[in-house]
Amino acid sequence: MLLGVLTPGVEEDVKMESTKQPGLLAHARLITGVGVAWLFDAMDVGMLSFVIAAVHEEWALSPVQMGWIGSIGSIGMAIGAVLFGMLADRIGRKTVLIVTLLIFSIGSALSALATGYAMFMVLRLLIGMGLGGELPVASTLVSESVGVAHRGRSVVLLESFWAAGWLAAAVISYFVIPTWGWRVAMVLTGLTAIYALYFREGVKESPLFLARQHQRKPRFWPTLMALWHGQYLRATLMLWIVWFMVVFSYYGMFLWLPSVMVLKGFSLINSFGYVLVMTLAQLPGYFVSAWLIEKWGRKPVLATFLTGTAVAALGFGLATSLPLLLTAGMLLSFFNLGAWGALYAYSPEQYPSVIRSSGSGLAAGVGRVGGIVGPLLVGSLIAAKVSFGMIFGIFTAAVLIAVVAVLALGRETMGQPLD
């Protein structure tokens, strides 16, 4: 075995720890503590779609330059997901979460001081590293700290804070950016650094990580080889395909929503308001996914919500009237974010504790490559006068490929204990 088998004694500790379930108060504190950090992350990503539309006018950016703003963040997220995912398997989930929170928040605060496009892009790379590292590590921490009966639902509920963050971003962008400018909005996301101090005391380390502290620590190449051999090969292939297609379509569509509305003939302020309405559908998407994931299972929920995403994406691209745009946009938010919740619950369950964060982080890192391509592709296609129906048709096809990968390669993990 490349990573070794759990040593005697430690294996029993892991089994004992995996059966322990936190009390109601501890459970709520865990979900809320990690969730608020996730909320700040979503605020940044959600606000970026509005900031791109704002700096487009301030710095006279081309569509390709606008696309690069989203893509440079995804480059940082790819680096952060792999680097910090591996690090979390060596030094602990909680420690890495605090580090990534600080990197993200400092970068966000400094971006308010950006004097031009180049400086802003460097800071977006730094912010992306913090974001990319935090998200898979956070889902791993929650997955390892909750009993098997509520594990999937807990991770999806954690993901629901992303919708709350997007909603906060839409509200701030609608009321703050038009009046006080985008720089003030970026300062608000930088307040995460203050929250990191509370996070340090309010959340405990994963019991499964603590139970194997004396094991040999995983290294990059042996871990990568283990992910692509034996029993983990199908899971890794499935996750890498799904993550790439989901992130490619998500960032390609959602980072461009306000700008697409403007290009469809609506004013900037009205576009912000319409995207705010669409964002409201994200929360029920998460809650329905959380309710179904412990009833239907991971595979059916993920496949169903991805299929809904594909249909809604095509509808949004072809819509010509405001009612159709709003309806398709709300369905897109509902299904896409519900699928994200299921994916974050599903990913850590594919691997044992010793490589769980690394496996999830590498899959997310591959996904971030899709996040680089998506916004750039949209910018290039818009510059080439390609229709929105064709652009969103590409994203529909990508999501359907993810559906096929889940159904053909995925295994059901509902009700199965970790490790």
Architecture category of domain 12-409 in CATH: Up-down Bundle (1.20)
pLDDT for residue 19: 43
CA contacts within 13 A on the Cβ side of 155:
32
Kindly report the number of other CB atoms within 10 A of residue 384's CB atom: 8
What residue segments make up the domains of the chain, in order of their start?
12-409
d(CA 389, CA 415): 41
Q: Which pLDDT band holds residue 408 (cuts at 50, 70, 90)?
A: very high
**Mean pLDDT for the chain?**
83
The distance of Cα 11 from the centroid of its chain, to the nearest Å, equals 32
pLDDT digits (tens, 9 = 90+) for 20-61: 445 667 777 788 888 888 888 888 877 887 788 788 878 888
d(CA 227, CA 157): 28
Kindly report the number of other CB atoms within 10 A of residue 90's CB atom: 14
pLDDT for residue 414: 86
pLDDT for residue 23: 62
d(CA 273, CA 259): 12
Tokens of 26: 């501890």
Q: Which pLDDT band holds residue 216 (cuts at 50, 70, 90)?
A: low
The distance of Cα 168 from the centroid of its chain, to the nearest Å, equals 16
d(CA 134, CA 38): 8
pLDDT digits (tens, 9 = 90+) for 59-91: 888 888 887 887 888 889 889 988 998 898 888
